[in-house]
Chains A and B, each alone.
Chain A
Amino acid sequence: MIERAPTSDRNYQKKITAYLDGALSTEERSEFEAFVSTHPEFKDQIKLKEDEIIRLRSFIPQVTMSPSALETMNHEIRQSIFQLLKRKPKNLWENMKDRYEEWASNR
């Protein structure tokens, strides 16, 4: 005869993936964590799912930009910010401040 886990255990088993996916609400999460703290055997099952997530992460490409590419892109972004966020100066003082900011950002 196949021994089945109690219904409450099965309910929490179903929630392991959702728990690791961050798909549980705050209350459900707290309830799940409380259950796990009183059922240490659940930790192995969670570990298995965590390993699955690690394998899943290995499918996601990890790309890094070269320092020169990063610098070029940041330069372009800075130019966009300074051009697109320009506002009409209200007075001479603001005009001077804007010009100084532009000058300082290009140094």
Chain B
Amino acid sequence: MEKSSTMRRKEFYQLASPLTEKLYQLAYSLVPDDLQAEQLVIDSVNAYLLKEKKWIHNKHVDLLQKKEVGILRKMIFKSLIRYLGDLGVRRSGQLGEQSLRVSGPVEFSQFFSLDPKIRLVIRLRYDNHFTVDEIGDIFNMPRYEVIEKIHNGRFLLLNDLNKGEEI
């Protein structure tokens, strides 16, 4: 059997490029503006590449092994989310949450009124279908904290919805 070689740039691109749109959606949850979200994705990828260069260079990969590609792609996705979360939460704060709430899409004002980290966790859980443990692993967050964020986000969203129905 042929031994897999260390990852080349082209191979890394093949692994990472299908993640672009998912990363964009996550970024948009933090900064609800097309250009800001695109910039956040690019900055997160750059930060990841600079920090994880050694790991990428030493990683062996065989792109013909579909299962291996899936596992590796998910691993890269999780790491990219970590960088995107760190940068995005900070950026969201710098841009001013208040202005984001105003400039964000009106139909999703309830979602954007949540704390940025809660928005991210809610999207990861209910849209990207990550488990509580996986989310905890991504953000290096204890299990109870992830559950608390999911619970709070869920409560605030559904509570606001009920208010709307009463009106």
Contacts and interface: CB of A to CB of B under 8 A. Distances in A.
Interface of A: 18, 21-23, 52-53, 55-57, 59-65, 69-70, 73-74, 76-78, 80-82, 84-87, 101, 104-105
A78 B46 CA distance: 11
B8 to A, nearest CB: 6
Nearest to A24: B132
B28 A61 contact: yes
Question: Which label, helix, strand, loop or mixed, suits the secondary structure of the B interface?
Answer: helix
Contact of A22 (B34, B105, B123, B125): B125
A48 to B, nearest CB: 12
B46 A80 contact: yes
B32 interface: yes
Question: Which label, helix, strand, loop or mixed, suits the secondary structure of the A interface?
Answer: helix
Given A57-B127, A61-B28, 18 more contacts: A22-B125, A23-B150, A55-B161, A56-B157, A59-B161, A62-B127, A63-B28, A69-B38, A77-B16, A77-B45, A80-B46, A84-B50, A85-B49, A85-B57, A86-B9, A101-B9, A104-B10, A105-B10
B84 interface: no
B9 A65 contact: no
Interface of B: 8-10, 12-13, 16-17, 20-21, 24-25, 28-29, 32, 34, 37-38, 41-42, 45-46, 49-50, 53, 56-57, 105, 107-108, 110-111, 122-123, 125-127, 130-133, 143, 147, 150, 154, 157-158, 161
B72 to A, nearest CB: 15
25 contacts: A53-B126, A55-B161, A56-B126, A56-B154, A57-B127, A59-B108, A60-B123, A61-B32, A61-B107, A61-B111, A63-B25, A63-B37, A65-B20, A70-B20, A70-B21, A73-B20, A77-B20, A80-B46, A80-B49, A81-B45, A82-B9, A82-B13, A84-B46, A85-B53, A104-B10
